[in-house]
């Protein structure tokens, strides 16, 4: 007996409208929301209508690729062409970074208040100079110099003369920060909290105190120092300082903490020579969690 076995071939079923997602699958609103977020986070303002139309079109035409998102972020960070109201995106970006860095470290003190303090200190300097108080003169000169260094930091960072590490060193090395965090006990705790989002361990605090108050040589965060200046150098250039930058930017841009993998990846990059704070922002802002597409 011969048995013939046959099989039935299943007919293909086509479901209309079931195309793979692409740029057409992402609504214009989502793209515009991304452009809006980039402008607000980097420049501190929303895009005007012409900017919104132009940048949204470029992203859509580029197929929502990371490269077109990166182009927008870099444009807002670095473009030096004249823009009404901003002078340029590059200037507006650095002004924004300066402002939010002051908010993080010195309660957002205005430049007007910094200049007022410089005026007061200048009067004190002149008074002490007339009275022959050399110690007072030296003190007020230092106070004025530190505040002027704060006022100049946005311009020097913009022209690539100082690093992000130096930006934060200046923001903890001035009379405003000292007034907010009076005495060495508060200064040590505040620098760890502001920069690292934690307080020092007992050993870290004791070594910091010894370094600042006793001018004695001790090890802190793997480095040797013996005075207040060394302390500020160490806390604004340690590996944990860069971890703090990552945490700050994720909380600012993403509204969440970085995952362990994200932190590790970005820390390795930031510790490489030449990897910049702007690249840290670019990494975050082209991610789909930020763009939502």
Residue in this structure with the two tokens 């200064």, named with its chain if needed: 187
Buried b or exposed e, range 201-215, using 16+ CB within 10 angstroms: eeebbebbbbbbeee
Closest C-alpha among 204, 266, 194 to residue 236: 194
Position 23 scores a pLDDT of 58
- Is 124 part of a structural domain of the chain? no
Position 22 scores a pLDDT of 54
Res. 5 pLDDT band, cuts 50 70 90 = very low
Residues of the domain holding 41: 26-92
Dist. CA 229–CA 224, nearest whole Å: 12
- Is 229 part of a structural domain of the chain? no
- Is 41 part of a structural domain of the chain? yes
Burial environment of residue 26 by CB neighbours within 10 A (0 to 12, 13 to 18, 19 or more): middle
Q: What is the number of domains present in the chain?
A: 1
Dist. CA 152–CA 162, nearest whole Å: 10
- Is 164 part of a structural domain of the chain? no
Q: What percent of the chain has pLDDT over 90?
A: 90
Distance of CA 222 to the CA centre of its chain: 24
Closest C-alpha among 247, 177, 188, 260 to residue 218: 188
- Is 143 part of a structural domain of the chain? no
- Is 138 part of a structural domain of the chain? no
- Is 60 part of a structural domain of the chain? yes
Residue 79 DSSP one-character state: -
Reported as type and span, the H/E element at residue 69 is helix 66-78
**CA of 75: how far to CAs of 38, 64, 85, 92, 168, in Å?**
10, 16, 16, 12, 25
DSSP E strands, 95-228: 218-220, 223-225
Dist. CA 253–CA 276, nearest whole Å: 17
Quick: pLDDT tens for 177-194. Answer: 999 999 999 999 999 999
Radius of gyration for the alpha carbons in the chain, expressed in angstroms and rounded:
26
DSSP string of 163-187, one letter each residue: -HHHHHHHHHSSHHHHHHT-HHHHH
- Is 71 part of a structural domain of the chain? yes
What is the pTM assigned to this prediction? Answer: 0.90
Dist. CA 277–CA 162, nearest whole Å: 12
Position 20 scores a pLDDT of 37
Crossing angle of helices 164-172/89-106, nearest 10°? 40
Res. 65 pLDDT band, cuts 50 70 90 = very high
Identify the bridge partners of residue 218 per DSSP, sorted by sequence position: 225
- Other Cβ atoms less than 10 A from the Cβ of 293: the count is 16
Position 9 scores a pLDDT of 42
Q: Pick the residue with more confidence: 286 or 7?
A: 286
């Amino acid at each position: 007996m011969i048995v013939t076995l046959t099989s039935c071939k299943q007919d293909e079923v086509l479901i209309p409208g079931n195309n793979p997602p692409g740029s057409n699958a992402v609504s214009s609103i989502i793209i515009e929301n991304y452009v809006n977020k980039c402008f607000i986070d980097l420049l501190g303002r929303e895009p005007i209508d012409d900017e919104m139309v132009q940048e949204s079109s470029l992203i859509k035409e580029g197929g929502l690729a990371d490269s077109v998102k990166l182009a927008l972020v870099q444009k807002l960070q670095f473009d030096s062409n004249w823009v009404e109201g901003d002078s340029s995106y590059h200037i507006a970006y650095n002004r924004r970074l300066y402002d939010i860095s002051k908010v993080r470290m010195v309660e957002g003190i205005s430049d007007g208040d910094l200049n007022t303090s410089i005026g007061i200190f200048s009067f004190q300097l002149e008074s002490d100079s007339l009275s022959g108080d050399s110690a007072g003169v030296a003190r007020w000169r230092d106070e004025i110099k530190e505040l002027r260094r704060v006022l100049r930091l946005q311009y020097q960072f913009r022209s690539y003369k100082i690093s992000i590490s130096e930006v934060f060193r200046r923001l903890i090395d001035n009379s405003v920060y000292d007034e907010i965090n009076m005495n060495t006990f508060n200064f040590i705790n505040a620098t760890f909290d502001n920069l690292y989002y934690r307080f020092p361990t007992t050993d870290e605090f004791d070594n910091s105190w010894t370094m600042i108050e006793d001018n004695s040589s001790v090890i802190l965060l793997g480095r040797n120092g013996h005075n207040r200046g060394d302390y500020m150098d160490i806390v604004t250039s340690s590996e944990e300082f860069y971890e703090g930058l990552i945490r700050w930017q994720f909380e600012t841009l993403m509204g969440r903490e970085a995952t362990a993998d994200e932190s590790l990846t970005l820390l390795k990059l930031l510790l490489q020579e030449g990897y910049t704070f702007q690249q840290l922002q670019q990494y975050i802002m082209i991610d789909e969690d930020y763009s939502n597409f």
